[in-house]
């Protein structure tokens, strides 16, 4: 009988084999997880590189907080700055005259923004424009036309939104703007009923973003002049409208956002020492004006032989506006910029060194004209009778009349409007027919395309 098999040896061998198998599979797992880790790392780096190439960082950002540092040498900032056309910005923003201003103009491709930028540039101030070229209120091709005009005067207009806090902070940290002329806003009274949130986006959130960046990222802090509106007078019945009148009954969301802007301006002046001047414009008109405004679309309709609607107030009176010619408003804006005192806040939003200037001015023409009279001036200039449809004004946010008292602006910076409605509209019509290629035959009243 042979001896029984040595089972202890067999089981040792099996245990050893199983140990080797476990070891091998552990090695395999570790090797494959290393491989997976390397692959993931490589893919992530590749993705970041691709995203950075496709979307330069500042123009991507929407809601980041402004950097509290204003040091030019910050590695964070210089990394981000690489995607900004810094040299072109510097060239555009640098004044060509000694002691000239260096102004960041928001809404520069807009009607008022373009005229102000040209006037600043003409007298040797540096201008950097910014505009988001939105298509809310009217066809942005007119904004692009204005941008080309500005470019022909070596004024750069960046395609950007005022809610882009990272970009604004970068701009303020990269260039010592002496002033901001803040005109970017969602304008228009009636459009507010269609797209209310666009007003909150630009006139409230955008305004806060601008003030935040100017207060915390700029060194030195610029003085800010911004566009409020005569619409803040709302249902006010005292006339002419004076800055001392109460403005707590806005008739439209647009007016409410401008009124909110004036309150927000007070806060940033009070806390951060920003020097802030608000300008209440009264129905500005002129060449390159806004197609959504009555004088503009009346012209278009009269030339096309289409009927126009003229409002009467609910008490049967003519609706009247204090129409203000663009060149007068531009003079007012420049006067406000020239008399703005420096901000008193410290970079990074530190405590202010003393009270800062806080002002508000009417910029109007001081002579309201009934809309029916505006139409009769246009009829003469265009050589065509309008087909008028007169109805009672619906309660859509419009007010029956506006009338500015401008004595405060006259006293503080010599504001004196000099253009009456007939000569201002004549300049507008000249521009209009040139821009749209229309040939007027005023003797017969017929018009044709040029």
Ligand X SMILES: NC(=O)c1ccc[n+]([C@@H]2O[C@H](COP(=O)([O-])OP(=O)(O)OC[C@H]3O[C@@H](n4cnc5c(N)ncnc54)[C@H](O)[C@@H]3O)[C@@H](O)[C@H]2O)c1
Catalytic residue annotation: 254
The site string for ligand X over 152-171 (x = CB under 6 A, - otherwise) reads ---------xxx--------
How far is Cα of residue 439 from the mean position of the Cα atoms in its chain? 35
Q: Look at the block and give the residue holding tokens 């004006």.
A: 289
> What is the smallest separation between the CB atom of 86 and ligand X, expressed in angstroms?
20
Rg of the chain over all Cα atoms, to the nearest angstrom:
31
- Binding ligand X by CB under 6 A: which of 101, 112, 378, 381? 112
Choose the binding region for ligand X from 55-63, 94-102, 276-284, 391-399 (rule: CB under 6 A): 276-284
CB closer to ligand X, 57 vs 162: 162
Binding of residue 110 to ligand X (CB under 6 A): yes
Binding of residue 113 to ligand X (CB under 6 A): yes
Choose the binding region for ligand X from 45-53, 91-99, 282-290, 385-393 (rule: CB under 6 A): 282-290
Binding of residue 296 to ligand X (CB under 6 A): no
HEC readout, 260-293: HHHHHHHHHHHHHCCCEEEEEECCEECCCCCCCC
Rounded-to-integer distance, Cα 151 and Cα 374, Å: 34
> What is the smallest separation between the CB atom of 435 and ligand X, expressed in angstroms?
15
> What is the smallest separation between the CB atom of 292 and ligand X, expressed in angstroms?
8
Nearest residue by C-beta to ligand X? 110
Of residues 202, 203, 225, 221, the one with CA closest to residue 213: 221
Rounded-to-integer distance, Cα 93 and Cα 107, Å: 15
- Binding ligand X by CB under 6 A: which of 57, 93, 102, 111? 111
> What is the smallest separation between the CB atom of 211 and ligand X, expressed in angstroms?
14
DSSP state of 404: B
Choose the binding region for ligand X from 45-53, 56-64, 108-116, 166-174 (rule: CB under 6 A): 108-116
CB closer to ligand X, 187 vs 337: 187
Rounded-to-integer distance, Cα 134 and Cα 219, Å: 30
Of residues 124, 200, 192, the one with CA closest to residue 163: 200
Binding of residue 137 to ligand X (CB under 6 A): yes
- Binding ligand X by CB under 6 A: which of 102, 283, 344, 405? 283
> What is the smallest separation between the CB atom of 91 and ligand X, expressed in angstroms?
22
Residues 6 or more apart whose CB falls under 8 angstroms from that of 378 comprise 295, 298, 299, 302, 386, 425, 429
Binding of residue 132 to ligand X (CB under 6 A): yes
> What is the smallest separation between the CB atom of 198 and ligand X, expressed in angstroms?
8
How many residues bind ligand X (CB under 6 A)? The answer is 28
Helix (H) or strand (E) holding 442: none
Omega of the bond leading into 82 within 30 degrees of 0 (cis): no
Q: Look at the block and give the residue holding tokens 């060449």.
A: 287
Total number of residues shown for the chain: 450
E strand residue ranges, 313-445:
320-321, 324-325, 358-363, 369-370, 387-392, 438-441
The site string for ligand X over 175-194 (x = CB under 6 A, - otherwise) reads --------xxxxx-------
Binding of residue 234 to ligand X (CB under 6 A): no
Within positions 67 to 86, which residues make up the interface with ligand X, using CB under 6 A?
none
Q: Look at the block and give the residue holding tokens 């707590």.
A: 248
Question: Which residues are near ligand X by CB under 6 A?
Answer: 107, 109-113, 131-134, 137, 143, 161-163, 183-187, 202, 206, 227, 229, 281, 283-284, 290
């Amino acid at each position: 009988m042979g001896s029984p098999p040595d089972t202890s040896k067999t089981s040792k061998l099996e245990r050893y084999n199983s140990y080797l198998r476990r070891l091998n599979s552990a090695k395999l797992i570790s090797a494959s997880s290393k491989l997976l880790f390397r692959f993931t790392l490589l893919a992530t780096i590749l993705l970041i590189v691709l995203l950075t190439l496709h979307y330069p960082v500042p123009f991507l950002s929407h809601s980041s907080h402004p950097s509290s540092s204003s040091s030019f040498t910050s590695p964070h900032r210089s990394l981000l700055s690489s995607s900004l056309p810094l040299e072109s910005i510097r060239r555009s923003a640098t004044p060509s005259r000694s002691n000239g201003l260096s102004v960041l103009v928001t809404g520069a491709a807009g009607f008022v923004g373009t005229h102000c930028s040209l006037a600043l540039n003409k007298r040797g101030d540096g201008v950097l424009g910014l505009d988001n070229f939105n298509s809310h209120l009217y066809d942005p091709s007119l904004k692009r036309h204005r941008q080309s005009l500005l470019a022909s005067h070596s004024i750069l207009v960046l395609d950007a939104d005022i809610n882009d806090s990272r970009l604004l902070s970068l701009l303020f940290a990269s260039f010592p703007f002496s002033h901001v002329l803040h005109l970017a806003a969602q304008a228009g009274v009636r459009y507010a009923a269609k797209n209310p949130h666009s007003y909150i986006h630009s006139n409230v959130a955008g305004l806060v973003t601008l003030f935040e960046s100017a207060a915390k990222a700029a060194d030195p802090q610029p003085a800010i002049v911004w566009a409020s509106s005569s619409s803040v007078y709302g249902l006010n019945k005292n006339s002419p409208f004076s800055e001392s009148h109460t403005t707590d009954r806005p008739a439209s969301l647009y007016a409410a956002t401008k009124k909110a802007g004036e309150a927000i301006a007070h806060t940033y002046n009070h806390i951060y020492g920003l020097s802030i001047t608000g300008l209440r414009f009264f129905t500005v008109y002129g060449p390159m004006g806004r197609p959504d405004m009555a004088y503009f679309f009346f012209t278009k309709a009269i030339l096309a032989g289409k009927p126009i609607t003229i409002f009467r107030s609910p008490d049967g009176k003519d609706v009247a506006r204090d129409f203000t010619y663009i060149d007068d408003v531009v003079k007012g804006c420049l006067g406000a910029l020239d008399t703005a005192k420096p901000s008193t806040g410290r970079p990074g939003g530190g405590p202010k060194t003393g009270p800062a200037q806080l002002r508000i001015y009417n910029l109007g023409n001081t002579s309201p004209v009934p809309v029916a009279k505006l139409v009769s001036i246009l009829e003469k200039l265009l050589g065509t009778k309008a087909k008028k449809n007169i109805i009672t004004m619906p309660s859509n946010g419009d007010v029956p009349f506006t009338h500015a008292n401008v004595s405060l602006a006259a006293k503080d910076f010599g504001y004196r409007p000099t253009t009456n409605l007939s000569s201002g509209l004549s300049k507008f019509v000249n521009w209009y027919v040139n821009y749209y290629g229309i040939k007027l035959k005023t003797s017969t009243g017929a018009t044709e395309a040029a």
